[in-house]
Structure 1
Amino acid sequence: MEYVDVAVIGGGQSGLAAARALRAHGLEPVVLEASGQAAGSWPQYYDSLTLFSPAQYSALPDAPFGGDGDRYPHRDEVVAYLTRFAELLDAEIRLHTRVETLETDDGAGFLVHTADGVSLRAGGVVAATGAFANPLRPALPGQQGFTGQVLHVADYRSPAHYAGKRVVVVGGGNSAVQVGYELAQVAKVTLATRAPLRFLPQLREGKDLHHWLTSTGFDTLPPEWLVHFVGGTLVLDPGIYQHALEAGRLERRPMFHALEGDTVVWADGTRERVDVVLLATGYRPNLGYLKKLGALDADGMPLHSGGISITQPGLVYLGLEFQRSFASNTLRGVSRDADYVIPPLAAYVCKAPAAAGL
């Protein structure tokens, strides 16, 4: 059976950052990517998606986007950027290789089993599969009898299919507002949220918010502290979303009570016919392949401290939301987390405990 130093599961931004850090520690990682390109979930996002951070604050270390640093790169630019980064990375990347399950090796490390029946022995594992493949689809009261469509924003690509329709977008985060605003150009749209929207201007004193996040160190604050500064969900507003709501081009209402037939029953008891309910309700880590290891809690969330497994020596995570900071699952922040979790992983793979007589 083939042996690899470290199996990096996922070839998106987190997996590539992990491979770079592992190579810097003298290890030979093998990146296992389920899709046909090393760009993670970016190719699957909706067509109009742009980064919420400017190019100069969105790059991986020593790999600038190039061009105007103040622009907001489009989805396809990010795909091209990551593909180029992968091509220049001195690491083996195996495409069309989906990992189905992991188990501990009788010796040390792990057995990695793929969907095509191949198994590898790995000294260590980086779980870097992100969350896009595991959208959170909460059950809505009355959903089974609803005659319209209930979709997740993960299924959304462009507004063309929704022209002239009545759409309710459930959620109050960046994606909900950005997609809702786009849909409102061709459809009648309501944002259904449990709390009023909180807008955060993208520009302050002529500089993008990410200038202040990085220059002040806010990006690196631990998640336990963030609750004291960030209450609820914030929406970055380039100056168009709040104005659109105030102008009536789309509306926001408290979360509806139920779905019934072809209608929604709003919290105030009124009923309204709706064609599509679009869930912008987030995602959960796509880590089902770790279930057999006992590395997840009852809700499928990883048991970890800062991205280092607390149940399985030799297993680390990258790309978890708020893993170590506000920026953990972003292009600008994932390499900082890689620099934190890879050194102890490298020590484990190089058998530091045995060398110390333990």
Structure 2
Amino acid sequence: MPTTSSTDRLLDVLVIGAGQAGLALGPHLARRGADFLLVDAGPEIGHSWRTRWDSLRLFSPAQYDSLPGLPFPAPADTHPGKDDVADYLAAYAAHFALPVRLDTPVLRLHRDADGTFTATTPTGTLRARQVVVATGPFQTPHVPAIAGGLDPDVPQVHTAGYRNPAQLPGGGRVLVVGAANSGLQVAAELAATQPVTVAVGTRPTELPQRIAGRDLFSWLSAVRFFTVPSSSRIARRLRARGDLVIGSRSRDLRRRGVDFRPRLTGLTGRTARFADGSTVDVVAVVWATGYRPDHSWLHVPGVVVDGQVRHTAGTTDVPGLHVLGLPWQTCRGSALLGFVGADAEALAARLTVGAGSTGVSGRAPATRATSPV
């Protein structure tokens, strides 16, 4: 159980979030002799992975899933499951003896008059010269307002709460809203036991898991896809096209009998309506509609603009306040398990260590970006 925090100790660095990004930063801070602490709202390291759906597997093969200094313990070209990832993150924290305080959500973060930061938690306060927000992009599940038109007797669940088909009533048609990676993976699983309709808003690019006998990630890595700078023209084009769907193909699902419809426009009782005027009756709905950032706890003026955190390669305009693990923070791989380490190393080099530090040791050499925490 966490103990009440003392405000007397002034940390060099407080890392908010002990997921892949926060953990990747830890060994760099330890090597520099920093007085630091990672805090996480979860009851265990890897909790956010353990609570995903049971059959979830990474579309990145194991050789691309390592954090700095500890290889992922799985054969090359195998695809780890969600519990494998959670186990690895826990092992990583133990291997480097990282100071992690669990069950410690940050309820409020503010900057004091002397330029230091105070984080309020349920068990007390923590003070630090510098703060790294590493809470990741998956914060608040987004469910559209039209969900309110569904009959209360019809179960509905976001993919954040979906575990397996046994959660849903059998025998009838299930509507999956969203056709990105999560939506198509869940649809494929459900299609083994019952009829499925997928509502497609925007259709992302779909790529097979293997091409010419090699995993897709080997091809993408060869052309430096994951290290394309976020400020480049090609990065802007890639971001405009949305995420890639890897390994799940809508044409394969159609052959298995999955019904694809255009954008969902309304729900009335048990009936779903689509943009082409068609309708279908359903017994359950799975919302694969993504997440929204939550900055309600971040009380530092000038950081959140139009609902997004403004930063330059992870460094905000507020001295001493940084972010890590965001999509496109510096490149395409910034939010991916096996690629966040490069951003962690670069950020660690910009953090100052030792009493009397100002929280500023140089600005990031990158163009201005606006990204969600």
TM-score norm. by structure 1 comes to 0.90
| Structure-1 residue corresponding to 2:100 | 93
Q: Distance in 2 between matches of 1:179 and 1:38?
A: 25
Any conservation in 2 of the 1:7–1:122 contact (CA below 8 Å)?
Answer: yes
Q: CA deviation at 1:351?
A: 2.5
Q: Please tell me whether residue 274 in structure 1 is matched to residue 288 in structure 2.
A: no
- Please point out which of 214, 217, 228 is paired with 2:221: 214
The more displaced of 267-276 and 318-327 is 267-276
Amino acid at match of 2:15: V
Q: Please tell me whether residue 12 in structure 1 is matched to residue 19 in structure 2.
A: yes
Alpha-carbon RMSD across the aligned residues, in angstroms, is 2.3
1:119-134 map, 5 Å = 119-134=125-140
Amino acid at match of 1:234: L
The alignment partner of 2:237 has SS state of coil
Q: Distance in 1 between matches of 2:356 and 2:258?
A: 57
Any conservation in 1 of the 2:116–2:127 contact (CA below 8 Å)?
Answer: yes
Q: Please tell me whether residue 55 in structure 1 is matched to residue 24 in structure 2.
A: no
User: CA, structure 1 residues 158+81, in 2 after alignment: closer, same or farther (shift >3 Å)?
Assistant: same
The alignment partner of 1:79 has SS state of helix
Q: Give ranges in structure 2 of 5+ residues lacking alignment.
A: 1-6, 363-373
Q: Distance in 2 between matches of 1:308 and 1:57?
A: 26
Which whole-Å deviations, capped at 9, do the CAs of 1:180-230 have from their partners, x for residues lacking one? 111111221111112345321111221111112222211110234323356
The alignment partner of 1:49 has SS state of coil
Any conservation in 1 of the 2:33–2:353 contact (CA below 8 Å)?
Answer: no
Amino acid at match of 2:348: I
Q: Please tell me whether residue 228 in structure 1 is matched to residue 234 in structure 2.
A: no
- Please point out which of 166, 176, 196 is paired with 1:160: 166
| Structure-1 residue corresponding to 2:148 | 144
| Structure-2 residue corresponding to 1:288 | 296
The alignment partner of 1:278 has SS state of strand
Q: Distance in 2 between matches of 1:100 and 1:280?
A: 28
User: CA, structure 1 residues 338+139, in 2 after alignment: closer, same or farther (shift >3 Å)?
Assistant: same
Q: Distance in 2 between matches of 1:93 and 1:171?
A: 36
Any conservation in 2 of the 1:168–1:277 contact (CA below 8 Å)?
Answer: yes
Q: Number of residue pairs matched?
A: 349
Q: Distance in 1 between matches of 2:137 and 2:304?
A: 15
Any conservation in 2 of the 1:131–1:286 contact (CA below 8 Å)?
Answer: no
User: CA, structure 1 residues 170+26, in 2 after alignment: closer, same or farther (shift >3 Å)?
Assistant: same
The more displaced of 33-42 and 51-60 is 33-42
- Please point out which of 82, 100, 107 is paired with 1:75: 82
The alignment partner of 1:227 has SS state of helix
| Structure-1 residue corresponding to 2:305 | 297
Q: CA deviation at 1:10?
A: 0.9
| Structure-1 residue corresponding to 2:368 | none
Any conservation in 1 of the 2:130–2:321 contact (CA below 8 Å)?
Answer: yes
Any conservation in 1 of the 2:141–2:158 contact (CA below 8 Å)?
Answer: yes
Q: Distance in 1 between matches of 2:162 and 2:288?
A: 10
The more displaced of 76-85 and 160-169 is 160-169
Q: CA deviation at 1:91?
A: 2.7
1:219-258 map, 5 Å = 219-224=226-231, 225-229=234-238, 231-237=241-247, 241-258=249-266
Q: Distance in 2 between matches of 1:350 and 1:69?
A: 46
Q: Distance in 2 between matches of 1:91 and 1:270?
A: 55
Any conservation in 2 of the 1:316–1:345 contact (CA below 8 Å)?
Answer: no
Q: Distance in 1 between matches of 2:103 and 2:284?
A: 33
Q: CA deviation at 1:248?
A: 4.1
| Structure-1 residue corresponding to 2:370 | none
Q: Distance in 1 between matches of 2:356 and 2:164?
A: 48
Q: Distance in 2 between matches of 1:353 and 1:81?
A: 31
Q: Distance in 2 between matches of 1:350 and 1:341?
A: 20
- Please point out which of 41, 44, 67 is paired with 2:48: 41
Q: Distance in 2 between matches of 1:205 and 1:215?
A: 14
The alignment partner of 1:346 has SS state of coil
Q: Please tell me whether residue 106 in structure 1 is matched to residue 113 in structure 2.
A: yes
Amino acid at match of 2:207: L
User: CA, structure 1 residues 197+321, in 2 after alignment: closer, same or farther (shift >3 Å)?
Assistant: closer
Amino acid at match of 2:50: P
Which whole-Å deviations, capped at 9, do the CAs of 1:8-61 have from their partners, x for residues lacking one? 111111110121222233212101111121225111111111111011111112
The alignment partner of 1:336 has SS state of helix
What percent identity do the matched residue pairs reach?
36
| Structure-1 residue corresponding to 2:323 | 317
Q: CA deviation at 1:3?
A: 1.6
Q: Distance in 2 between matches of 1:160 and 1:176?
A: 17
The more displaced of 35-44 and 283-292 is 283-292
Q: Distance in 2 between matches of 1:349 and 1:322?
A: 33
User: CA, structure 1 residues 207+41, in 2 after alignment: closer, same or farther (shift >3 Å)?
Assistant: same
Q: Give ranges in structure 1 of 5+ residues lacking alignment.
A: none
User: CA, structure 1 residues 7+40, in 2 after alignment: closer, same or farther (shift >3 Å)?
Assistant: farther
User: CA, structure 1 residues 69+349, in 2 after alignment: closer, same or farther (shift >3 Å)?
Assistant: farther
